């Protein structure tokens, strides 16, 4: 597994644990009395699990599994776009989770992460040698 995929997948595992932990608090608050502000974490719960866990895991596995033919043409650029996608996605999840005035900046970082990921993967979506 390439180094950037290791970072993607391990970061997704961290988001899974944090997201499930917050989810447990939210669910518990429906059964017993907890601090009133716990429901303010609902958006964080969704952000961590949807973007931080599921989407990030898919990105990491795609960078690992997809054909590498396109990588040989421009290995440096491919590494930069994958790392950029990783950094922007996790920065975006963090800012969106913190909320407040940086919420929109976080969303923009996630959009840029998606674009960078697309730039990385686009050339790798190709027929295998056996299909040419």
Partner 1 sequence: MPPLSRWYIKLAIVYFIAALVVGALQALLDIPYLGPAYVHMLVVGWITQMIFGVAYWMFPKYSPEAPRGDNAIAVATFALLNGGLLLRIVVEPLRAWHPGAAPGWLLVVAGAAQALAGVGFALNTWPRVKIR
What CA–CA distance (Å, rounded) separates 84 from 4?
10
88 touches 127 (CB < 8 A): no
62 is a contact residue toward partner 1 (CB under 8 A): no
38 is a contact residue toward partner 1 (CB under 8 A): no
Segment near partner 1 (CB under 8 A); pick from 49-57, 81-89, 105-113, 124-132: 49-57
Report in angstroms how near the CB of residue 100 gets to partner 1 at its nearest.
26
By rule CB under 8 A, what count of residues binds partner 1? Answer: 26
For residue 22, CA distances in Å to 9, 45, 95 come to 20, 6, 17
Report in angstroms how near the CB of residue 28 gets to partner 1 at its nearest.
4
What CA–CA distance (Å, rounded) separates 32 from 28?
6
Angle between helices 75-98 and 56-65 (to 10 degrees): 170
Site residues (CB under 8 A) for partner 1? 1-3, 5-6, 9-10, 13-14, 16-17, 19-21, 23-28, 30-32, 49, 54, 57
């Amino acid at each position: 597994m390439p180094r950037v995929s290791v970072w993607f997948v391990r970061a997704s595992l961290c988001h899974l644990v944090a997201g499930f932990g917050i989810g447990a608090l939210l669910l518990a608050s429906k059964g017993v009395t907890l601090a009133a502000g716990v429901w303010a974490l609902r958006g964080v719960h969704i952000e961590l699990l949807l973007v931080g866990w599921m989407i990030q895991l898919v990105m990491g596995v795609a960078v690992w599994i997809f054909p590498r033919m396109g990588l040989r043409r421009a290995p440096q650029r491919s590494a930069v776009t994958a790392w950029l996608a990783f950094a922007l996605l996790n920065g975006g999840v963090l800012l969106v989770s913190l909320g407040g005035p940086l919420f929109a900046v976080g969303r923009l970082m996630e959009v840029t992460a998606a674009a960078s990921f697309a730039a990385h993967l686009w050339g790798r979506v190709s027929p295998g040698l056996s299909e040419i």
